[in-house]
Chains A and B, each alone.
Chain A
Amino acid sequence: MSAVADTHAQDDHHHGPAKGFSRWLLTTNHKDIGSMYLIFSFAMFLLGGTMAMVIRAELFQPGLQIVEPEFFNQMTTMHGLIMVFGAVMPAFVGLANWMIPLMVGAPDMALPRMNNWSFWLLPCAFLILVSTLFMEGGAPNFGWTFYAPLSTTYGPPSTTFFIFAVHIMGVSSIMGAINVIATILNMRAPGMTLMKMPLFVWTWLITAFLLIAVMPVLAGVVTMMLMDINFGTSFFDASGGGDPVLFQHVFWFFGHPEVYIMILPAFGAVSHIIPAFSRKPLFGYASMVYAVGAIALLSFVVWAHHMFTVGIPIAGQLFFMYATMLIAVPTGVKVFNWVATMFRGALTFEAPMLFAVAFVILFTIGGFSGLMLAIAPADFQYHDTYFVVAHFHYVLVPGAIFGIFASAYFWLPKWTGHMYDETLGKTHFWLSFIGMNLAFFPMHFLGLAGMPRRIPDYALQFADFNMVSSIGAFMFGASQILFLVIVVKCVKGGEKASAQPWDGAEGLEWTVPSPAPYHTFATPPEVK
């Protein structure tokens, strides 16, 4: 190709985004793609949240008033799948896309076209997944963990479509993770050694490794399911020499690292926000990095703590119990370091900081219930009760979701060039905080009192706490509409944001104007 074509291609870079709808279909720009991921994830959050509202409406009172049990099971299943794969994971990928190139001083992600493919595969996958609600036999109804043989022998016909949707999501995640690793390892500005990288970049590097390692295992387990359903294999059928417990082992080998995939980026973001609003550097940078590495490594050897009651040998139960309890150590290191960062800091509590501090406290509570669950003999009481539901909603809602909200408030000025409405932001926080605690704290008691999971109706002694929980859930759900209003208002206008609207914030991302120009760091900055 001629030299003229070369320079023309370079010139086009600086003409800004294309006009019209096709801009979004054809873009290769990490900011565009990040925004699409974030918008998609919020839409999925509202969809999954609506399903939760159906669940809580049915559970508001004892009896079966609102939906059929079969449909209730579809709601619990789809709520889980959509929140995990459609809301939390894409939100973190959106944050990664926006912020990693800015934080490392790179012009874009390593493989920009593949980046766009990773995004567009998600609406495609979720179109297929949500369409199962309208298929004969209904949507998947066997819980988001889709254990065999409930999902194989007894699943609805739509299960096969569900499996292919999972395949598509997996392709998206694996390619995205490859892009993140290549970007972080290859495109840092000169002078940015690994131990000078911001924490959000570190946590995403490790998350990307986890994704590449375990998403293929998920692909393997759903493929075995597909074969059992459609081609007469017997992976999970003991009459052919297989084993339903094999499903659980392979699934949780993916499933446990998956929950760390859903929290590590939040750890990274909070490690930016707390120092910024304490106007103090993060306490113990190196130990924070090693702790994330230790958590990631350990996450591969604890999977059977989801399987204590299924009949694994005692030696296995002991090993997995000890390994699981061990993960509390590096996690504790992180919690202590966040608190130490705040100690004697010049603290202010704008919306990002409110969500970040709530994260530290409430995620820790979730961690405590996790420790209780880790104790194998005790887990025989807690397993498949609402105690488990309380645990994972505490680590996911004030954990992952609050981490995402905190990040959104923190970085919205950079993305849009406007400050969001601080009063509305604080209101969103308090409504979410109160709603969330009302919704999920009573679930600890419900579980301990013996209420099982995944049931549309319950014994009368569980009625009061269920009512409180439903009210909290409705409050939490309604508050998210406020968040939508805040974001739309901020995108459309508001007080102009400077390059660095948060005086305590550090990092390359705050050296570019707000809103960040379409192309940034065409030449990499020098990092001291």
Chain B
Amino acid sequence: MAENQTYYVPEQSKWPIVATVGLGVTLYGAAAIMVNGQQGESTTGSWVMFLIGSLIMAYMLFGWFGTVIKESRSGLYSPQMDRSFRWGMSWFIFSEVMFFAAFFGALFYTRMFAVPWLGGEGDRGSSNILWEGFQATWPLINNPDPDAYPAPEGIIGPWGLPLINTILLVTSSFTVTVAHHALKEDNRKKVKLWLSATIALALIFVFVQGYEYAHAYQDLNLTLQSGIYGSTFFMLTGFHGAHVILGTLMLTIMLIRIHKGHFTGDYHFGFEASAWYWHFVDVVWLGLFVFVYVL
């Protein structure tokens, strides 16, 4: 860490404007893909735009984080700067928690109110007039209008692949913690081993989840279009999976940095931030396992 006690304020930087162009082009391209697709028009140009935007984003992430890493390793960051990063990462993770809270909230409202009311329960139960014969169950395998939303033929039971996924992720939280302790003791070999184990577990999780999705789509006819059960199932597990992939990427970069000799026993916030993110991803999975699969 730095001897330097003044707070480092970076000089001009191109990364913010690069990131803006990157994000703007990527998302405009994504929108164009969807809209052109819906209207039956060619999406080639839009895909090109999306890919160019994504490349700009990748370039920006490498460059911006690379600059920060360089500045950190040149001792420009005071303990106060370190605290800014800790606050920043903590509050970012909180915002991610709130993002998932919105989807869990939707699931809660649907199961506790919307579906029972559609089935005739309670004061609001008169809405059963719209779809006669609709039975309110969960998982909802008979939608009110099966022509518009063909129901799935089965559901994903919690005690098969999802249980394996739970074991994988919880174990990986342990392994990343062991890796962290090893890093604090400057035992590089141990860090590499346990961090690699974490990444391996994460990759197996992603593979298992992908296999589960394929099984859902092909064998169970459980898709995004299968009504509210499919919608909530795939949104929650899908966004979770995306965050797992992000987390795995972060951990992999930390592993690369360890191999390059970065970090010391008492100065390794990049690693800690990635580990915090990984624990967050694990906790969200536990919530998913309980509320999407089990209950």
Contact surface of A with B, Cβ cutoff 8 Å: 1, 5-6, 9-10, 12-13, 18, 22-23, 25-28, 106-108, 110-114, 116-117, 119-121, 124-125, 127-128, 157-158, 160-161, 163-164, 167-168, 171, 174, 177-179, 181-183, 185-187, 212-217, 219-221, 223-224, 226-227, 229-235, 237-243, 245-246, 249-250, 253, 311, 313-314, 519, 522-523
Contacts and interface: CB of A to CB of B under 8 A. Distances in A.
B61 interface: no
B130 interface: yes
Nearest to B17: A25
Contact of A12 (B4, B11, B74, B118): B11
Which residue of A5, A10, A235, A240 has the most chain B CB atoms within 10 A of its CB atom? A240
B231 A242 contact: yes
B39 A246 contact: no
A121 to B, nearest CB: 5
A234 B234 CA distance: 12
A10 B6 CA distance: 10
B295 interface: no
B227 A1 contact: no
Contacts of A219: 99, 102
Interface in B250-267: none
Contact of B102 (A125, A161, A220, A234): A220
A182 B143 contact: no
B227 A168 contact: no
Interface of B: 4, 6-7, 9-17, 19-21, 23-24, 27-28, 30-31, 34-35, 37-39, 64, 70, 73-76, 80, 83-84, 87-88, 91-92, 94-96, 98-99, 101-103, 105-106, 109-110, 113-115, 118, 122-124, 127, 130-131, 140, 143-145, 148-149, 224-225, 227-232, 234-235
A227 B124 contact: no
Q: Which of A22, A117, A523 is most buried by chain B, counting CB atoms within 10 A of its CB?
A: A117
Nearest to B68: A113
Contact of B9 (A107, A117, A120, A179): A107
Given A113-B13, A253-B105, A522 B80 contact: no
Contact of A120 (B17, B37, B80): B17
B231 A233 contact: yes
Binding site secondary structure of chain B: helix
Given A187-B84, A313-B123, A164 B235 contact: no
Contacts of A107: 6-7, 9
Nearest to B231: A233
Given A25-B17, A113-B13, A215-B95, A227 B224 contact: yes
B91 A178 contact: yes
Contact of B31 (A108, A161, A234): A161
A12 B94 CA distance: 36
Nearest to B6: A522
A121 B24 CA distance: 8
Contact of A128 (B24, B74, B106): B24
B24 A240 contact: no
A110 B76 contact: no
- The 6 nearest A-B residue pairs measured at CB: A220-B102, A239-B145, A1-B74, A241-B228, A117-B16, A216-B99
Contact of B91 (A117, A212, A240, A311): A212
Given A110-B87, A227-B231, A241-B114, A117 B19 contact: yes
Given A6-B75, A6-B76, A240-B143, A161 B28 contact: yes
A121 B19 CA distance: 9
Nearest to A522: B6
Given A212-B94, A217-B101, A230-B38, A117 B88 contact: no
Contacts of B27: 128, 164, 167-168
Given A12-B11, A233-B224, A233-B235, 10 more contacts: A1-B75, A114-B88, A174-B92, A186-B84, A216-B102, A217-B98, A220-B106, A237-B149, A238-B127, A241-B140
Contact of B10 (A28, A168, A224): A28
A26 B17 contact: yes
A110 B88 contact: yes
A222 B169 CA distance: 29
B110 A246 contact: yes
B34 A241 contact: no
Contacts of A216: 95-96, 98-99, 101-102
Given A1-B70, A27-B12, A9 B23 contact: no
B102 A250 contact: yes
B16 A234 contact: no
A234 B109 contact: no
A406 to B, nearest CB: 30
B140 A110 contact: no
A227 B91 contact: no
B144 A174 contact: no
A347 B241 CA distance: 61
Given A216-B96, A250-B105, A243 B110 contact: yes
Given A121-B23, A187-B7, A216-B95, A227 B12 contact: no
B149 A240 contact: yes
Contacts of A160: 31, 34-35
Contacts of B74: 1, 5-6
A510 to B, nearest CB: 22
A230 B34 contact: yes
Contacts of A5: 74
Contact of A106 (B7, B10, B73, B94): B7
Contacts of B31: 128, 160-161, 163-164
A160 B144 CA distance: 27
Contact of A249 (B92, B109, B115, B230): B109
13 contacts: A6-B76, A26-B14, A28-B11, A28-B12, A112-B9, A117-B15, A120-B16, A128-B24, A178-B92, A233-B224, A233-B235, A249-B109, A314-B123
B12 A240 contact: no
Which of B19, B101, B124 has the most C-beta atoms of chain A within 10 angstroms of its own C-beta?
B19
B11 A234 contact: no
A157 B35 contact: yes
Contacts of A213: 94-95, 98
A167 to B, nearest CB: 6
B235 A168 contact: no
Contacts of A242: 110, 114, 227-228, 231
A407 B84 CA distance: 28
A238 B34 contact: no
Nearest to A24: B17
